[in-house]
Amino acid sequence: MSGATDAFVRFENVQKSYDGETLVVKDLNVDIPEGEFLTMLGPSGSGKTTSLMMLAGFEPATHGEIYLDGESINNVPPNKRGIGMVFQNYALFPHMTVAENLAFPLKVRKTGAAEIEEKVQRALDMVELGSFGGRRPAQLSGGQQQRVAVARALVFDPRLILMDEPLGALDKQLREQMQYEIKHIHENLGVTVVYVTHDQAEALTMSDRIAVFEDGIIQQLSTPDALYERPENSFVAQFIGENNKLSGTVREVKGKTCTVELDGGGTVKALAVNVEGVGSRTTLSLRPERVEIAPAKGAVQNQLTGEIRELIYLGDHIRTRMAVSGNEDFIVKVPNSAGNVPLAEGAKVKVGWEAGDCRALDPLAV
């Protein structure tokens, strides 16, 4: 791993315990280059928010060092770190106007009146609320309040912005709109963003890289496409996107591929990503859009027979739930296009996929 001076933000052997016994964050090591949008993603209790709070200075690290621009900030109070923060509950002052809310962090920093006015207007224009400076937070919609919170985090030109579930209180359509707005603000400003969410679609949409947390450990740190296409273990495969899993025993390992005898019947070939060798247990990971219904004989390496249990029309594709080799919830996304094989509930059909689209991983804990 590169030295502290090579990364804008660096966690080095960081641990956190609240009771002196249980580690909520276990030996966290991660480098974040300047200008990156890094998302900490994981379920509740995985350690992602605690890691963000240690970076913000609201929680002390039990062990290890946190660096900002090459300097240790373990003993620097939150208000001296020069970090912008955006929370889920907006944290706006209700008795102040929007402009006064934005001016507050500048006044604390003893900025001159003319400069405050200029920076407040610039920040409001950035989030397309240029004419809203005179309104109170209660006069704004939830989406507008969240934009004000983003503008307030940007107004004093911080080099680092931390966001903790900032879109969690918004409805689905507004949340998706705000994802793109925050992504575009980041692209335009080049500011470093560390973002916390439990929503994997949000993480895939916005991030340069995603750190997937579980049990206080980063399970995988990769770009969105690598996380989705090349999960390194069963937890990541299940947590990121939709995933079909099939359990079995490794019967042969040959180069990068292995042959797996499935518990529910049948034998398939898969990429030997994370297997212990012949005789070991494995969980296969296979994305629904990589499965073909009724493939021509010999068209793909793996073919099994399944039974269609449910068909759901979703416009651009037909979500097909099947029973395949003991998995009663095996999903195939069939594109809605001309020439499709007619599908019917209860029908038995062949399903197939390439070995390269199927990843043999560690056995999934149950």
Task: Tell me the per-residue pLDDT of 280-330, one tens digit each, with 9 for 90 and over.
Answer: 999 999 999 999 998 888 889 999 999 999 999 998 899 999 999 999 999
Beta-bridge mates of residue 83: 160
- Judge contact between 130 and 142, C-beta under 8 A: no
Beta-bridge mates of residue 124: none
Q: Tell me, what's the pLDDT at 89?
A: 80
Separation between Cα atoms, residue 56 and residue 53, nearest integer Å: 5
Q: Tell me, what's the pLDDT at 59?
A: 95
Question: Does the pLDDT of residue 264 top 90, yes or no?
Answer: yes
**Residue 295, phi then psi, degrees to nearest 5:** -70, 155
Please name the amino acid found at residue 225.
D
Separation between Cα atoms, residue 130 and residue 140, nearest integer Å: 13
Separation between Cα atoms, residue 148 and residue 142, nearest integer Å: 10
Query: What residues does each domain of the chain span?
Result: 4-234, 242-361
CATH architecture of 242-361: Beta Barrel (2.40)
Q: Tell me, what's the pLDDT at 339?
A: 65
Q: Tell me, what's the pLDDT at 40?
A: 98
Q: What 8-state DSSP symbol labels residue 112?
A: -
CATH topology of domain 4-234: Rossmann fold (3.40.50)
Q: What is the pTM of this model?
A: 0.89
Q: What 8-state DSSP symbol labels residue 365?
A: P
Separation between Cα atoms, residue 194 and residue 9, nearest integer Å: 10
Catalogue the long-range contacts made by 215-221 (C-beta closer than 8 Å, 24 or more residues apart).
215/26, 215/46, 215/47, 216/16, 216/23, 216/24, 216/25, 216/26, 216/46, 216/47, 217/26, 217/27, 217/47, 218/28, 218/30, 221/30
Beta strands in the chain (DSSP E): 9-17, 23-32, 37-41, 63-68, 71-72, 83-87, 160-164, 192-197, 209-214, 217-222, 244-254, 257-262, 267-272, 281-286, 292-293, 302-313, 317-324, 327-335, 348-353, 358-361
Mean pLDDT of 16-44: 95
Question: Does the pLDDT of residue 342 top 90, yes or no?
Answer: no
Mean pLDDT (the chain, rounded): 92
Q: What 8-state DSSP symbol labels residue 290?
A: G
